[in-house]
Every structure is written in C-alpha cells, then in structure tokens.
Amino acid sequence: MPGFLLHVGASVMCAHAGQAQPTAPNSRVLVNGLPTVALGAPYVVTGCAMPPPPSGNGPCVTAQFVTAATRVLSGGQPLLLFDSQALCAPTGTPLTILATQTRVLAT
C-alpha cells in the first residue's frame, strides 16, 4: 500500500509519549530538504513516561522498524513509510508516526 516517505523531521512517539529520532538518517534521498530514513536505522527514544521495574517494564529506550517500502530502496535498504510498523525495547510497544511530509509517496 502506498504511503508518504518518513523523514528526519517527522513526529514519531512511543506509546508513552516519548519522542523518537532516527540514529542513522539516509542523506542520499531528501524530501523537503531533510534526509529520509531506511529500514535498518534504529531509533532512540527520549522522555518515555513508562516507569522502570518493579512498577513497569520501561522506559522505552530504542525502537526498530519492522516494515517498510517494498518497491523504493536507497543504498539497498527499503525506506520507511508513514504506515511502517516499529517495536520499542524493552517494552515491546509500538511507535506511532504522528506527522511526516506529504509530497512524496512510495510503495
């Protein structure tokens, strides 16, 4: 299914309102002047409100996307889309993409 490409300026949060940012942007493909993000790039999560053990199993520290574009690659890696799915560690909760650029679609 087509979706907008995810870029560094996108608003991405963990399920507990922590901000997520990619650690390895893909500067080979730019949208709105900002680098896109490929599937292999881990995300770092800051500000997660999930309490640490014994109250909870958090906070979210990192996240890894598990789905991406099937037909658009950069440097041999699929690019992330608005509907791509990710899991946070150590909580196992998803990341939520709230907003991204709306000019470039991919499948």
Q: Per-residue pLDDT tens, the chain, 107 aa: give them.
A: 689 999 999 999 999 999 999 999 999 999 999 999 999 999 999 999 999 888 888 899 999 999 999 999 999 999 999 999 999 999 999 999 999 999 999 99
- Amino acid, res. 85: Q
Beta bridge partners of 97: 12
Beta bridge partners of 38: 79
| Distance, CA of 106 to CA of 45 (rounded, Å) | 26
Whether the model clears a pTM of 0.85, i.e. scores above it, the answer is yes
> Are 65 and 33 a contacting pair, CB within 8 Å?
no
